[in-house]
A = this chain, B = another copy of it.
Amino acid sequence: MRTPDISIEECTYSHVLEIVSNKWTALVIYSLENGTVRYGEMMGRIKGISQKMLTQTLRQLERDGLVGRKVTPVVPPIVEYTLTPLGETLIPCMRMLNVWATDHFPHVKKAREEYDIGETSGTIA
Contact = CB atoms under 8 A, between A and B. Distances in A.
A26 B3 contact: no
Interface of A, helix, strand, loop or mixed by DSSP: helix
A76 interface: no
Nearest to A101: B12
Interface residues of A, number: 54
Nearest to A100: B93
B64 A108 contact: yes
A31 interface: yes
A112 B66 CA distance: 10
Nearest to A111: B65
Contacts of A105: 12, 15-16
Contacts of A47: 5-8
Given A21-B21, A64-B112, A11 B34 contact: no
15 contacts: A3-B31, A5-B46, A6-B30, A7-B27, A11-B26, A11-B27, A13-B97, A16-B97, A16-B100, A16-B101, A17-B20, A63-B111, A65-B115, A89-B100, A89-B104
